[in-house]
Amino acid sequence: MLGKIHLLEGDLDKAIEIYKKAVEFSPENTQLLTTLGLLYLQLGIYQKAFEHLGNALTYDPTNYKAILAAGSIMQTHGDFDVALTKYRVVACAVPESPPLWNNIGMCFFGKKKYVAAISCLKRANYLAPFDWKILYNLGLVHLTMQQYASAFHFLSAAINFQPKMGELYMLLAVALTNLEDIENAKRAYAEAVHLDKCNPLVNLNYAVLLYNQGEKKNALAQYQEMEKKVNLLKDNSSLEFDSEMVEMAQKLGAALQVGEALVWTKPAKDPKSKHQTTSTSKPASFQQPLGSNQALGQAMSSAAAYRTLPSGAGGTQFTKPPSLPLEPEPAVESIPTETSEQMREK
CB neighbour list of residue 113: distance below 8 Å, 6 or more residues apart: none
DSSP 3-state assignment of 340? Answer: coil
pTM: 0.72
CB 59 within 8 A of CB 28: yes
Task: State residue 65's pLDDT score.
Answer: 87
What span, in angstroms and rounded, lies between the C-alpha atoms of 95 and 126?
13
Percent helix / strand / coil, the chain, rounded to 5: 60, 0, 40
pLDDT interval class at 183 (50, 70, 90): very high
In a domain, 253, yes or no: no
**310 pLDDT higher than 80:** no
Q: Which residues of 16-26 are buried (b: 16+ CB within 10 A; e: fewer)?
A: bebbeebbeee
Q: Which of 250, 313, 245, 305 is nearest to 283 (CA)?
A: 250
Task: State residue 278's pLDDT score.
Answer: 32
Q: Which of 225, 233, 227 is nearest to 261 (CA)?
A: 227
In a domain, 37, yes or no: yes
In a domain, 234, yes or no: no
pLDDT interval class at 242 (50, 70, 90): confident
Mean pLDDT of the chain: 76
Question: pLDDT higher for 51 or 313?
Answer: 51
In a domain, 166, yes or no: no
Query: Could you give the count of Cα atoms lying within 13 Å of 54 in the half-sphere of its Cβ?
Result: 8
Task: State residue 102's pLDDT score.
Answer: 95
Question: pLDDT higher for 64 or 338?
Answer: 64
Longest alpha-carbon distance in the chain: 70
Task: State residue 38's pLDDT score.
Answer: 86
Range of the domain at 124: 1-129
Task: State residue 169's pLDDT score.
Answer: 95
DSSP 3-state assignment of 300? Answer: strand
Q: How many domains does the chain have?
A: 1
Q: How far is CA 295 from CA 14, 21, 160, 169, 189, in A?
A: 43, 48, 26, 19, 20
Percent of the chain residues topping a pLDDT of 70: 73
DSSP assignment of 133-195, as one string?
HHHHHHHHHHHHTT-HHHHHHHHHHHHHH-TT-HHHHHHHHHHHHHTT-HHHHHHHHHHHHHH
What CATH number did the domain enclosing 118 receive? 1.25.40.10
Mean pLDDT of 257-274: 46
In a domain, 13, yes or no: yes
- Do you know the residue count of the chain? 346
In a domain, 116, yes or no: yes
pLDDT interval class at 299 (50, 70, 90): very low
